[in-house]
Homo-oligomer: A and B are copies of this chain.
């Protein structure tokens, strides 16, 4: 799996656990809804600033989101 797809999974997990639609998340972040959609589908790679902005709205930290990506990498490597 690509890093982009792993981040997309993590983003979607936090968005849904916050009960936010892509539309609502994009409004609260000031990012395009289409960009959120591309990120969730693993078609774009987030910059550090994007991760920090998303984390704030999603009531978590950027390091937490990155840690979740690293867990998926480590599971992926075991397969």
Which chain A residues have a beta carbon within 8 Å of chain B's beta carbons? 3, 7, 45-49, 51-52, 61-64, 66-67, 69-70, 73
**CB-based nearest B residue for A71:** B63
Are the C-beta atoms of A66 and B49 separated by less than 8 Å?
A: no
Q: Complex Cα distance A3/B52, Å?
A: 9
Are the C-beta atoms of A61 and B67 separated by less than 8 Å?
A: yes
Q: CB within 8 A of A70: which of B46, B47, B61?
A: B61
Q: Complex Cα distance A51/B73, Å?
A: 14
Q: Which of A3, A7, A46 has the most CB of B within 10 A?
A: A3
Q: CB within 8 A of A64: which of B47, B48, B63?
A: B63
Residues of B within 8 A of A61 (CB): 66-67, 70
